[in-house]
Amino acid sequence: MTDPVRYVAKNMRLDLRLIAEMIPARAKVLDIGSGDGSLIEHLFRTKQCDARGIEIDMAEVTHSVAHGLPVMQGDADSDLAQYPDGGFDYVVLSRTLQAVERPREVLRQMLRIGRHAVVSFPNFGHWLVRMQLLWSGRMPMTSVWARPWHETPNIHPCTIRDFFVLCAEEGYVVEKWLAVDEAGQRSPWRRWEGLANLFGEQALFQLRKA
């Protein structure tokens, strides 16, 4: 069994709560990398959303379905292509982008099958990450980037600035974005991209096609 792509469960509830805040009631939602299904359950229970999940880890899928949640085993790199265009209002990829094989293609698929994409990822531009690489000359290990380089499933780390560049290249409109520290606190620097890139531990984006 491959390692689940969700790289850290810490503060997951909060991460998902921030995502849930972005999604309106009764929306049709696809959660890619749905883990134990907390987000889709939350969206169904509190917002009457038609929320469905895809999860790579079979144990998590079994757990979710056994809790009555519509989840199918599949993976972001290979199981998005068959969904019809515009089948969902929102497609969510939470803390998974950095672990997929082809992030750019996954984003394309998300915005093909959904009108909006909600993406969260850990920010590799955080000052602590930069400091560690600068001073120790070794791959950074922080509470967010907690595994050694040879063990991590996070094969495509990026910074907040990198992500803005990608969105510009692909012609995506950033509808909303925010950066939070690991405790999930929004900070005064959150509206300045450069400062967010330095102090934000996680980023959350809502995109649509231009």
Residue 26 touches other proteins, criterion: CB under 8 A: no
Strands of 33-156 (E only): list them: 50-55, 71-73, 88-94, 114-122
Residue 65 touches other proteins, criterion: CB under 8 A: yes
- Contact region with other proteins (CB under 8 A), list: 65-73, 96-104, 150-158, 186-194: 65-73
Please identify which residue in 9, 58, 131, 173 interacts with other proteins, judged by CB under 8 A: 58
Strands of the chain (E only): list them: 28-32, 50-55, 71-73, 88-94, 114-122, 172-180, 202-209
- Contact region with other proteins (CB under 8 A), list: 11-19, 56-64, 149-157, 168-176: 56-64
Q: How far is the CB of 9 from other proteins (least distance, A)?
A: 22
Structure tokens given for 55: 């999860």
Within 8 A by CB and 6+ apart from 12, the residues are 6, 35, 38
Residue 46 touches other proteins, criterion: CB under 8 A: no
Contact 78, 61 (CB under 8 A): no
Which residue type occupies 156? H
Residue 42 touches other proteins, criterion: CB under 8 A: no
Residues near other proteins, by CB under 8 A: 50, 52, 58, 61-62, 64-74, 79, 82-84, 87
